[in-house]
Amino acid sequence: AQSVTQLDSQVPVFEEAPVELRCNYSSSVSVYLFWYVQYPNQGLQLLLKYLSGSTLVKGINGFEAEFNKSQTSFHLRKPSVHISDTAEYFCAVLLRGSYIPTFGRGTSLIVHP
């Protein structure tokens, strides 16, 4: 069975600073990896996903993530955050051949002016 750990429940940061949200997973088979964002009072929406190929994945709103197989990590980064990036971020893993992803507990990104 797979699992996802988001190491930080909350990450406060000042506007225009860089940010990294951490995600580690465990799985004995190949996986697909996803980052979703949830703005207040909304559903989750896809930021980016890793399926195969280049380990650096670029998503919407200037976010990117790097798949590191040896460290089983898929950390999300943004070089300069905006107030509007304040939201909950979820990492998810999907076993190849499965249809049901496993979501992490989420990381609350709080951007201060």
Partner 1 sequence: DAGVIQSPRHEVTEMGQEVTLRCKPISGHNSLFWYRQTMMRGLELLIYFNNNVPIDDSGMPEDRFSAKMPNASFSTLKIQPSEPRDSAVYFCASSIDRGGEETQYFGPGTRLLVL
Residues 6 or more apart from 7 whose CB is under 8 A from it?
22, 23, 24
- Interface with partner 1 (CB under 8 A), residue from 29, 40, 41, 70: 41
Of the listed pieces 13-21, 34-42, 63-71, 74-82, which binds partner 1 according to CB under 8 A? 34-42
- State the DSSP code for 99: S
Task: Tell whether residue 44 is a contact of partner 1 (CB under 8 A).
Answer: yes
Q: Which tokens belong to 61?
A: 């709103």
Picking from 82, 81, 90, 75, the residue whose alpha carbon sits closest to that of residue 36 is: 90
- Interface with partner 1 (CB under 8 A), residue from 23, 76, 94, 111: 94
Residues binding partner 1 (CB under 8 A):
32, 34, 36, 41-46, 49, 51, 90, 94-101, 103-106
